[in-house]
Amino acid sequence: MYDLIVIGGGPAGLAAAHAAWEKGVRKILILERDRELGGILNQCIHNGFGVKTFGEALSGPEYAARFEELVENTGIEVKTDTMVLDVDPDRNVYAVNPTDGYVTYSAKAVILAMGCRERTRGAISIPGSRPAGVFSAGTAQRYMNIDGFMVGKRVVILGSGDIGLIMARRLTLEGAKVLACVEIMPVSSGLRANIARCLEDFGIPLLLSHTVTEIRGDRRVTGVTVQKVDDKMAPIPGTEQYFDCDTLLLSVGLLPENELTKKAGIDLDPRTRGAYVFENRETETEGIFACGNVLHVHDLVDYVSEEAKFAGEAAAEYIANGERPRDSFSVTTSGGVTYTVPQKIRKDSGMKLINVYLRVNRKVKKGDIVVASAEKEIARYHKENLAPGEMITVGLPSVLLPVNSGSDTLNVSLEEIAQ
């Protein structure tokens, strides 16, 4: 019997396990499916990680190494090459690896930190033939940075998410010609800095409000057709451009990987595609916590580590003192706020500051994030340069919570400030 099992040894799992250790939890097990810890950071060889956490722009492997070192210096047990096949609501974890075989582990608390996966060609139903040479950007990144292979020479990238942008630069540096980065939305979902240093630095055109409408090639990709789209994202006839290319990379979004979460009987928020959680990142199933990209897709790993720390500390608190009363506020959203994590805030959380992560649905130069309950404003946060691709964090002091107002909801909204 373990005190805590952490599923996933990427940035979220490492930070969560370490935070729990720091809070005195001793029997901790991390289960990692890959042959090494670090998760997706191992293939993210570009820099820019850790500016918030360490004040340095580290590469992915360097950032992972910092946390791996923290974990190595504890008594946390790690099993790599181990795939978790099932989790149940009683916190039994069913896993398999080549040395131990098929094993059941039990724990007082479980932290879900499985990360996310990439959306595929199928998810967006790109018509055309089905040749080799169509990769999700992260898969191509692995082929290049871990395995050491070039995936193509003439490349079109669909989607301007960060992985797509990073791969545009990576491919160009290694000698490929990136013909265009094509984005169906009128704005890119990638970080502004990545558009500048990955596309603009290399003169790679960013085609906004465009999409790939046909893939051609019998055995290997021979080209793709790109079209402009209207405001309903339907391709406009007559705007076809043909790109002669051998590779199409897809950077069309990430999806939290919640198959295990579902198996544990935990409900998912359709907006985040992750579990509904309380302020301490505990799911609706007692003793099971979630953090990182399995909970909602983050744009910066620093926030993953921060959130994982909350979850790790909360799991420690749960292991020591048991479940807190669940009397809580439901967090609703309006005015362009698309979601919040957490979705529930306990009236008596025992936390001084509740960290709320949220996203907005449009670009706003200046705006206020307003927290209100029963029409009454309780907090206001001024923010600048808001964009859908960039997560916003606010710290809500729990003394502001209207615990005796009779209301059970908190609303988070965006108020745009006119220029």
Partner 1 sequence: MYDVVIIGCGVTGAAAAYELARYDLRIAILEAENDVATGSSKANSAILHAGYDPAPGTLMARLNVEGNEMAFRIAEKLHVPVERCGSLVVAFDENDEKHIEELYRRGVENGVPDMRIITGEEARQLEPNLSEEVRAALLAESAGIINPWDYTLAMAEVAVKNGAELFLNTKVTAIEKGEHFTIRSSKGEKFETRYVINAAGVNSDIISELVGEREFSVKPTAGEYFLLDKSEGGRVSRVIFQCPNELGKGVLVSKTVHGNLIVGPNAVETNRGDTSTTRDGLAYVQRTALRSVPSIQFRENIRNFAGIRANTEFDEFIIGESKSAKGFLNLAGIKSPGLTAAAAIGKYAGELLRQMGLSMTEKESFDDTREVVRFKELSDEEKNELIKKDPAYGRVICRCETVTEGEIVAALHSVIPARSVNGVKRRCNAGMGRCQGGFCSPRVCRIIARELGIDETEVLEEKEGSNILYSRLKEV
Partner 2 sequence: MREMTCLECPRGCQLTINEETLEVTGNNCPKGEDFARAEITNPVRVLTTTAVIESETESMLPVRTKDPIPKKSMSAAMKAIKNIRVKAPVEVGDIIVEDLVGTGVPLIATKRVLK
CA 103: distance to chain centroid?
A: 29
Stretch that binds partner 1, among 51-59, 80-88, 353-361, 364-372 (CB under 8 A): 80-88
User: With CB cut-offs between 5 and 8 Å by kind, which of partner 2, partner 1, none does residue 121 bind?
Assistant: partner 1
State the minimum distance, in angstroms, from the CB of residue 233 to partner 1.
12
The answer to the question of residue 153 lying near partner 1 (CB under 8 A) is: yes
Asked if 109 and 318 count as a contact pair (C-beta separation under 8 A), the reply is: yes
**Non-local CB neighbours of 232 within 8 Å, separated by 6+ positions:** none
Q: Using CB under 8 A as the criterion, which residues of the chain lie in contact with partner 2 when the complex forms?
A: 35, 42, 45-48, 51-52, 57-62, 65, 144-148, 170, 173-174, 191-193, 195-197, 201, 299-300, 385
Indicate whether 263 belongs to the interface with partner 1 (CB under 8 A). no
- 210 binds, options partner 2, partner 1, none, Cβ within 5 to 8 A by partner type: none
Question: What is the per-residue binding string for partner 1 in 17-56, x denoting contact by CB under 8 A?
Answer: ----------------x-----------------------
How many residues contact partner 1, by CB under 8 A? 51
Nearest approach, Cβ of residue 114 and partner 2 (Å): 23
Burial per residue of 367-389, b for 16 or more beta-carbon CB atoms within 10 angstroms, e otherwise: bbbbbbbeeeebbebebeebbbb
Is residue 139 within the footprint of partner 1 (CB under 8 A)? yes
147 binds partner 1 (CB under 8 A): yes
Rounded Cα distance, 67 and 155, in Å: 35
Q: How far is the CB of 134 from partner 1 (least distance, A)?
A: 9
Q: CB-wise, 326 or 382, nearer to partner 2?
A: 382
Between 179 and 414, CB nearer to partner 1: 179
For 134, left (φ over 0), alpha (ψ -120 to 50), or beta?
Answer: beta
Cα–Cα distance between 181 and 310 in angstroms, integer?
A: 37
Q: Return the one option of partner 2, partner 1, none that residue 231 interacts with (CB less than 5 to 8 A, by type).
A: none
Question: Helix 301-321 and helix 11-22: axis angle, to 10°?
Answer: 40
- Given the complex with partner 2, which of 170 and 210 has the nearer CB atom? 170
Least distance CB 224 / partner 1 (angstroms): 12
Number of Cα atoms under 13 Å in the Cβ half of residue 351: 23
For 17-56, b where at least 16 C-beta lie within 10 A, e where not — what string?
A: bbbbbebebeebbbbbbbeebbbbbbbbbbebbbeebeee
Kindly give, in sequence order, each residue whose CB lies less than 8 Å from that of residue 105, ignoring residues fewer than 6 positions away. 2, 5, 29, 31, 92, 93, 95
| Listed residue (133, 140, 318, 128) closest to 225, CA to CA | 128
CB 7 within 8 A of CB 260: yes
Closer CB to partner 1, 10 or 128, in the complex: 128
Contact residues toward partner 1 (CB under 8 A) are: 33, 81, 83, 85, 96-102, 117-118, 120-123, 125, 127-133, 136, 138-139, 142-144, 146-153, 174, 213-216, 218-220, 235, 246-247, 259
